[in-house]
Amino acid sequence: MYDFDELVERRGTNCFKWDDVKDGDLLPMWVADMDFKSPPAVIEALEARARHGVFGYSGCWNTWYQVLLDWMKKRYGWEARREWIDNSPGVVASLSMLVRAYTHPGDQVIIQTPVYSPFYSVVRSNGCQLIRNPLIMEDGKYRMDLDSLRPRITSRTRAIILCSPHNPGGRVWSSDELKKLGEFCLERDIVMISDEIHCDLIFPEYRHNVLAALSPELEQNSAIVNAPSKTFNIAGIQAASTIIPNEKLRNAYRHVLNNSGIDIPNVFAVTAMEAAYTHGEAWLEELMIYVQANYRLVRSFIQERIPQIKVMESEGTFLVWLDCRDLGMDDHELETFFREQARLILSPGHIFGEEGRGFQRMNIGCPRSLVQEALLRLESAMKRMQSKGWGQ
Ligand SMILES: Cc1ncc(COP(=O)(O)O)c(C=O)c1O
């Protein structure tokens, strides 16, 4: 019913992904937004709000809270409460404020790497130390490594930032994995900050578990950060929220939020979020079928025609993690190969941390014809490289 094949020209719209790439011949598949139009209901709501013509200070009223509560309950079985929620201009802003609220400079915060790069900066910029706990790759998927985490905890370990689902690995953590991590953190008094921005972007056979919904104890030890921005492709509108059930944790966060001066929502963010959660579900369901078909195409094409690259097993998100280590290139050579030879801009794996070296992240949230074009470019680049004697 929705046309995800439509090619929408994004150049010339102040678009980070396309306009930042000066060479028009390069195909950008990096920044994590999609090239699809948002659901029609979101566009119509924004048009109507724009036509109103008065854009003074806005607020979040009952409908805004209610649509989020309804979404959480319907899709994830979590009965959150209105008073637990705060609006935020973005997930990264919230992560940074949460770290500030729960730590003192010199404290330690855990991240499981490789992971979305701002996880590093929100810890460091708040004067804290990182405990990097690498994920283990097993059967083409990541899993958490609690055994190696145990000895790294000290009396100054205060918090963990969890990426759930995982960017860049595409894992949708199981309730069992999350509960084990949750128990580990509860025993050691480590607050859990759960970035669930990708939670709606799940392939049909998987289920996302909201961390706080797993037990009353975890509910009291977690801050859930969520947004409709990836889901409905409205990242540029900057709408996000935090849901913090524990009063003490919530008040600590609110103190930082109120001091930041960014607690007043953008008028279009309120409009877009209400429309997306109220009317966007059918669109989202079709979207994920489309994205999964893109993923399957990438996987089968690369398996058959570019077997030197391994495609990570993915359970959701529109991001594909490509293991290019068998190409034997260093970071610079790999980037040059993708850019100069394949004429593609992907996200280099090393920005996600040491463990990302030799990987590239490909954004497949785009019309299939672009995915096909990218795969053909990559295959030709490989053939050219082989014809020059590579790999012999
Ligand atoms: C895991 C994760 N968190 C947060 C963000 C960005 O969120 P925001 O734009 O709301 O700051 C991204 C974007 O790629 C992401 O992948």
pLDDT averaged over consecutive 10-residue blocks of the chain (392 residues)?
A: 96 93 92 97 98 94 93 98 96 98 98 98 98 95 97 97 98 98 98 98 97 98 98 96 98 96 91 97 98 98 97 97 96 96 97 97 98 98 89 68
Let me know whether 76 and 134 are in one domain. yes
For a ligand 1 pocket test, name from 30, 86, 91 the mutation site with the most ligand atoms within 8 angstroms of its C-beta.
Answer: 91
Rounded Cα distance between 177 and 180, Å, is 5
Same domain, 60 and 130: yes
Q: Which of 279, 295, 325 is the last residue of a domain?
A: 279
Residues 169 and 25 in one domain: no
Span from the CA of 385 to the centroid of ligand 1 (angstroms): 35
Same domain, 21 and 138: no
Ligand 1 centre from 106 Cα, in Å? Answer: 25
How far is ligand 1, taken at its centre, from the CA of residue 226, in Å?
Answer: 9
Do 275 and 360 fall into the same domain? no
- DSSP-derived secondary structure for 9-56: --TTS--HHHHT---TTSEE--SS--SSPPPHHHHHHHHHHHHH----
Contacts of 305 (CB under 8 A, 6+ apart): 375, 379
For residue 349, tell me if it sits in a domain.
yes
Nearest CA to ligand 1 atom 13: 32
Instruction: Tell whether ligand 1 has an atom less than 6 A from the beta carbon of residue 28.
Output: no
Helix (H) or strand (E) holding 218: helix 216-219
Model confidence pTM above 0.95: yes
Containing structural domain, residue 185: 53-279
Domain count of the fold of the chain = 2
12 Rama sector, left if φ>0, alpha if ψ -120 to 50, beta otherwise? left
**Do both 29 and 103 map to the same domain?**
no
* The pLDDT of residue 392: 66
Q: Is 218 in the pocket of ligand 1 (CB under 6 A)?
A: no
Q: Which of 294, 350, 297, 299 is nearest to 325 (CA)?
A: 350
Residue 77 sits in the same domain as residue 160 = yes
Ligand 1 in contact with 116 (CB < 6 A)? yes
